[in-house]
Amino acid sequence: MTTPKLPAAYHLIALDSVGSTNEEAKRLAVLGENAAPDGTLVWAKQQTAGRGRRGREWSSPPGNLYTSIVLRPDVPLARMPELSFVAALAVYDALESLGEPGHQVHLKWPNDVLLNDKKVAGLLLETESAGAGEDCHWVVLGMGLNVGWHPDDTPYPATSLRFEEWPVSVNQALEAYANSFLGWAGRWLDEGFEPIRENWLRRCKGQGEEIEVRLGNETLTGTFIDLDTSGALVLDCGGEVRHITAGDVFFSTPSGSIN
Ligand code: BTN
């Protein structure tokens, strides 16, 4: 494995195979700052038990990017979910920096990245749940990017860089993401969530359009108006405005279409 060149702010842990980079990063994070200082980046060539949002599996054969960063920002725990928007911007800008004109990249609430209207990357932010409270000053930010392979049985259609004929190596993708994340995380620490919110909205898909949001036990249809100051999706359901904190978005345009 060629070692990628990451900025000095990261402590790279490169693995050939692991169950889940998020699990490994969490295992190290609970051991404390010596085992996992801020910026510890766990990267694996493959995962045997990769996990997605809402308890889903994240198929993780070799050829894609699987990474989890341990972060210890001096920020209240309640604000940590903002970091997944920071990371979504980082993936977007990383792809832009790998510059292949003609591709459409968009962000999809809450923290997916779309390539040509199909999902190419997802983010999973986790901390220790049991009794962590305000004493827990770390989070693990997992990111999976389909570089060479994508599943074909997901509720929201998926794709990969290779399928879209965008030749990028896993190392190049990791280096671009790590660089871009450093920039956006610095901006978040210095300026707060507002510039993140504004930039996320500029890059997102579907604002002002009718969308469907599938919640655990309910499906809502309405106009995607805004992202609120906590990162919730603001949906106008025929005059009743809802602030949604968890769900899956589907669009009425091709690929992720409402059906
Ligand atoms: C999602 O869109 O559902 C989130 C997917 C997150 C996948 C990444 S791959 C690296 C890290 N390790 C995991 O087990 N999951 C995240």
pLDDT in tens, 8-40: 999 999 999 999 999 999 999 999 999 999 999
Percent of the chain with pLDDT over 70: 94
What pLDDT does 101 receive? 75
Would strands 112-115 and 219-227 be described as parallel, antiparallel, or unpaired? Answer: unpaired
Distance 152 CA to ligand 1 centre (A): 17
Is residue 131 predicted with pLDDT exceeding 80? no
Contact 108 CB / ligand 1 (< 6 Å): no
CATH class of 11-203: alpha beta
Rounded to an integer, the average pLDDT of 77-98 is: 96
Q: Please state the domain extents for the chain.
A: 11-203, 210-251
Mean pLDDT of 210-220: 94
Does the model's pTM come out above 0.85? yes
CB 244 within 8 A of CB 213: yes
Distance 184 CA to ligand 1 centre (A): 20
Report the atom number in ligand 1 closest to the C-alpha of 112: 2
Question: Average pLDDT, stretch 168-187?
Answer: 98
Mean per-residue pLDDT over the chain, rounded? 93
62 CA → ligand 1 middle, Å: 14
In angstroms, the CA 174 to CA 42 distance is 11
CATH topology of domain 210-251: SH3 type barrels. (2.30.30)
* Residues 177/41, Cβ–Cβ less than 8 Å: no
* Ligand 1: centre distance to CA 46 (Å): 12
The CA distance from 5 to 12, in Å, is 10
* Closest-lying ligand 1 atom to the alpha carbon of residue 58: 7
Buried b (16+ CB within 10 A) or exposed e, 151-166: eeebebbbbbbbbbeb
- pLDDT of 133 over the 60 cut: no
pLDDT band at 259 (very low <50, low <70, confident <90, very high): very low
- pLDDT above 80: residue 103: yes
